[in-house]
């Protein structure tokens, strides 16, 4: 097995798709996940660079992995994501069509590549039942980005054509760019000790956020098998077996608002952990990550014991999931 992978017994990986192919890499290298935005283009760019973006007062390259891996080009769309990562002290973005899940993987689950290439952009293959994903070597991509001899340029227009070019989409990409620029201006270049990263997800007509520190993984609802448990409250969907551990899945909307979550192809499960306990919550499609400075967090007064509290971040209203209140709610526990 590749030494880079084998040296870690178990860690979190983020899984995503590009066209019909699935990929993954170490999620600890992820700085942020954001929606596709309007990108900047100098006169020429290497063919694997989709554009440039200002991130935390630094211009970073946004990488099109399809061109790094010699895959057929596919036009981006408004649902595409940019995963901002840091490898070998280099910060760059990777475009993904769909973020699938984050989950913990044992090193034994990876298979060797059928060839030996020390400079390969892939380092292993992950397979599980009828699903497989190639594990990306971000360090080697960083080496490529930093190689002064790697100046194989192509015309600006060829890259730009990969972005949605209808007027409505272009306006949406531009608005997103302005939104992120405003967010960056509000945060200094110095790391704020009280700042933490949150992952967002929809809940009915609201957008919720939870500290990524408490996220043990997330999964597509359609990819897991839920075992229903009789004689349990209606908000408990059942249990799932993940890595030999049974985890209770609750419908968070039913739990908080007594409204059943509508199950569709975007429905996801976020596994949360607190101390020695884990539970899964039913949500819509996983959203972006946001950085929140706790000193600037404005939580609306709430005299109830609800685990969801309204909070304002950069003039936008979120529902803040209070992990302590959620895990201490006596309705989650069976009294003998």
Q: What pLDDT is stored for residue 147 in this prediction?
A: 80
Quick check: 268 and 220 in contact, CB under 8 A? yes
Q: Structure pTM?
A: 0.61
Q: What pLDDT is stored for residue 158 in this prediction?
A: 56
Quick check: 145 and 88 in contact, CB under 8 A? no
Q: What pLDDT is stored for residue 5 in this prediction?
A: 43
Residues of the chain with pLDDT under 50: 1-8, 152-157, 187-195, 303, 336
Q: Which domains are delineated in the chain?
A: 3-186 (2.40.50.180), 195-332 (2.40.50.180)
Q: What pLDDT is stored for residue 298 in this prediction?
A: 60
Q: What pLDDT is stored for residue 23 in this prediction?
A: 93
Q: What pLDDT is stored for residue 154 in this prediction?
A: 46
Q: What pLDDT is stored for residue 161 in this prediction?
A: 56
Q: What pLDDT is stored for residue 301 in this prediction?
A: 58
Q: What pLDDT is stored for residue 194 in this prediction?
A: 40
């Amino acid at each position: 097995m590749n030494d880079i992978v084998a040296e870690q017994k178990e860690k979190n990986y983020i899984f995503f798709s590009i066209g019909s192919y699935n990929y993954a890499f170490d999620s600890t290298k992820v700085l942020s996940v954001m929606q596709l935005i309007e990108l900047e283009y100098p006169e020429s760019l290497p063919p694997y660079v989709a554009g440039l973006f200002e991130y935390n007062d630094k211009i970073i390259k946004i990488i099109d992995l399809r061109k790094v891996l010699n895959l057929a080009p596919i036009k981006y769309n408004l649902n595409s994501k940019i995963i901002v990562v840091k490898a070998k002290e280099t910060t760059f973005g990777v475009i993904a069509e769909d973020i699938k899940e984050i989950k913990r993987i044992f090193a034994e689950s990876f298979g060797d590549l059928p060839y030996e290439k020390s400079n390969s952009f892939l380092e292993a293959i992950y397979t599980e039942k009828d699903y497989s994903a190639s594990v990306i070597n971000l360090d080697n991509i960083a080496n490529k980005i930093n190689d002064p001899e790697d100046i194989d340029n192509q015309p600006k227009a060829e890259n730009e054509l990969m972005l949605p070019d209808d007027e409505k989409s272009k306006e949406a990409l531009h608005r997103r760019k302005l939104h992120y620029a405003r967010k960056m201006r509000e945060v200094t270049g110095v790391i704020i000790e009280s700042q933490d990263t949150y992952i967002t997800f929809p809940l009915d007509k609201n957008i919720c956020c939870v500290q990524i520190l408490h996220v043990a993984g997330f999964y597509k609802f359609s990819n897991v098998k839920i075992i229903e448990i009789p004689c349990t409250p209606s908000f408990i969907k059942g249990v799932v077996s993940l890595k030999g551990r049974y985890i209770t899945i609750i419908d968070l909307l039913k739990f908080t608002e007594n409204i059943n979550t509508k199950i569709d192809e975007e429905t996801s499960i976020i596994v949360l952990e607190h101390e020695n306990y884990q539970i899964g919550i039913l949500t819509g499609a996983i959203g972006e990550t946001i950085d929140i400075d706790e000193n600037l967090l404005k939580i609306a007064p709430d005299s109830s014991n609800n685990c969801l509290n309204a909070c304002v971040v950069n003039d936008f209203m979120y529902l803040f999931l209070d992990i302590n209140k959620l895990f201490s709610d006596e309705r989650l526990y069976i009294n003998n």
